[in-house]
Amino acid sequence: MAVNTAVATRNETNTLSIFSNGESWELATKMAASLAKSTIVPKDFQNNANNALIAIELANRLQTSPLMVMQNLYVVYGRPSWSAQYMIAMINGSGKYDIELQYDEKTDKNGKPFSCQCWTEIAGRKVNGPVIDMDMAKAEGWVEKNGSKWKTMPQIMLRYRAASFFGRMNCPELTMGIYTREEVVELGPDEYVVTDVEAKVQQDVARNANSVPFPGTAQESRKQEPPTQRHFTADPEKVSGKVVEDDDSVPDFMKG
């Protein structure tokens, strides 16, 4: 009896490669403009064709619907973030693993949720994520954040965080390095400061200007020139041939 050993994989065929050519780019911009006019897309995309274009690009990478990305993509502190439910759905629906994410949960001595670890299997091998517990949540300051759900819904928050950590550790190609909305809120805006690259370059140029000479420049040529011989003004009395008796620089046998 033949055994089917085929492994489910994601469809790698790009339906719309935005950056491949001008035609694809033009089509994507038209799609973005049309989606931005919709009143049922989230507010971050309404009348904002640029944000809609980003959603189309993400959807193209994930091989999913742009509307699905829009419904689950949140802009926090100017950066995109996934909903935790969508990140879990991406992992479970990717076909990379043989079973959906599982949760190993433990409670403290009072019976309250304390820790959670996500795991799954691939080709008979168990794949584990890091253990997330309430001690970590307190140490990282997640519990004390304004509006934090860690105090009221610790079990759900432990599952969400365990799943997001599992995704970044074991399948970053699915999450594309994007954090969940809850994580971004808890990290705060200081973790997402956008560096002004142009200003930094100008500062570096001003600080290092003329400090490192380029080959062929006058500065380098000056460094390669041999030391200039020092010229001293001759003593008029010595030039005339008259030897001064008290001149210490003249040997004794030359003095009168």
Q: What pLDDT does residue 86 have?
A: 92
Q: What pLDDT does residue 84 have?
A: 92
* pTM beyond 0.75: no
Q: What pLDDT does residue 256 have?
A: 54
As a whole number, mean pLDDT of residues 100-116 equals 96
Question: Is residue 104 over pLDDT 70?
Answer: yes
CB atoms < 10 A from the CB of 90, how many? 18
Alpha carbon 129 to chain centroid, angstroms = 22
Question: Is residue 25 over pLDDT 50?
Answer: yes
Alpha carbon separation from 181 to 140, 170, 188, 196, 209 (Å, rounded)? 16, 20, 11, 24, 43
Collapsed DSSP state (helix, strand, coil) of residue 189? helix
- Return the residue matching tokens 């969400």: 160
pLDDT tens sequence across 189-210: 665 443 343 444 455 445 555 5
> Long-range contact list for 57-61, CB < 8 A, 24+ apart?
57/18, 57/28, 58/176, 60/14, 60/15, 60/16, 60/17, 60/18, 61/176
Distance in angstroms (rounded) separating the CA atoms of residues 38 and 45: 9
pLDDT tens sequence across 212-237: 444 444 444 444 555 455 444 445 44
As a whole number, mean pLDDT of residues 62-82 equals 88
Helices 84-93 and 154-170 cross at an angle (nearest 10°) of 50
pLDDT band of residue 187 (cuts 50, 70, 90) is confident
Alpha carbon 79 to chain centroid, angstroms = 11
CB 164 within 8 Å of CB 180: yes
pLDDT band of residue 159 (cuts 50, 70, 90) is very high
Phi-psi domain of 104 (left: phi exceeds 0; alpha: psi -120 through 50; beta: other): beta
As a whole number, mean pLDDT of residues 37-53 equals 93
End-to-end CA distance of the chain: 126
Q: What pLDDT does residue 226 have?
A: 53
